[in-house]
Amino acid sequence: MKDTANFLSLINTEIEKLTFGEEPANLYDPITYILSLGGKRLRPTLVLLGYNLFKRDYQQIMHPALAVEVFHNFTLMHDDIMDQAPLRRGKPTVHEKWNTTVGILSGDTMLVKAYDLLLEVEDQYFKESVRLFNKTAVEVCEGQQIDMNFESQDNVSVADYINMIRLKTAVLLGFSLQYGGLLGGASEEEQNKLYELGVDMGIGFQLMDDLLDVYADKNKFGKQVGGDIVSNKKTFLLIKALELATGDQEIALKEWLNKKEFDNEEKVAAVTTIYDDLNIKELTTQVMNEYFDLAFEQIKEFKVDKEALQLLRQFASNLMHRDY
């Protein structure tokens, strides 16, 4: 296998086969809808990649792998409500297409269905899988709450932000890789290394997301470009800009942050210009690359099948160089 296309194809095929329920339709249709929007399927792919380092019959763990994707989409459904996001992967979010109540209930149902998929884990790995899954799920909620808390905090440091994205985004990638290793019979030491590798990859991934929110081609990105700027979301870029801006730049940036009424495109253009003047794109790229470099160094430590390891390395490289 030269790339992860087989993994992705199999994952999408199996997602299409999943059934969640029929009535009431407005409870179950949103689940099918959000899963049908596609996405990168990073997390189940990482499960399969982690498993593939130790065993080759990855088809045997498809449903346990999909538990992570169903859980992830549950968090997206609820996050979109909290963020009042209009688009997800270029399409209307669930709460926009239906309503907020439907989004909450359908999301809750997705969480329960994720546990149904976890039930298919082999008995010898089941208890540890659920323990790790629950720990990760709570951490994701912690990260989301911290992110929401940032909205009313004037002073958020880079360290605060890195900790938040570690919880909100990166721990689920770390869990996915560790979980795949666990199901593949990896030792505890190997599992821990896989977790740390996935977390570093996840932090780099989120920093890239922050960059793309400002600098991506809107036709590729699938979300509102500049949405973070419009909503004053405290991303790495904004935190760093507030740290570095002085004089007229600082005055202008704070004016835009405090404005209640504005033209979205004008604000995005103005704040992006300030970012450009402060070299924020380059500074963010530098920190992002540091986390990916940590991941690549950790990949070298594994003494497993070279082809399987190369797949993982290529996957990390694709994340690092993506444009959407």
Residue 30: name the closest of 82, 92, 87 by CA.
92
Other CB atoms within a 10 A radius of the CB of residue 17 amount to 10
DSSP code string of 65-117: HHHHHHHHHHHHHHHHHHHT-SEETTEE-HHHHS-HHHHHHHHHHHHHHHHHH
Domain range for 103 is 5-320
pLDDT (tens digit, 0 to 9) for every residue of the chain, 324 residues total? 567 888 999 999 999 999 999 999 999 999 999 999 988 999 999 999 999 999 999 999 999 999 999 999 999 999 999 988 888 888 999 999 999 999 999 999 999 999 999 999 999 999 999 999 999 999 999 999 999 999 999 899 999 999 999 999 999 999 999 999 999 999 999 999 999 999 999 999 999 999 999 998 766 655 567 889 999 999 999 999 999 999 999 999 999 999 999 999 999 999 999 999 999 999 999 999 999 999 999 999 999 989 999 999 999 999 999 877
Computed on alpha carbons and rounded to an integer, the radius of gyration of the chain in Å comes to 20
Residue 40: name the closest of 3, 18, 12 by CA.
12
CATH code, domain carrying 263: 1.10.600.10
Residue 239: name the closest of 155, 299, 166 by CA.
155
Tally of structural domains, the chain = 1
Cβ-based neighbours of 302, under 8 Å, separated by 6 or more: 53, 190, 193, 309
The C-alpha atoms of residue 150 and residue 205 are separated, in whole angstroms, by 20
| Distances from the Cα of 240 to the Cα of 19, 21, 225, 323, angstroms | 45, 46, 19, 22
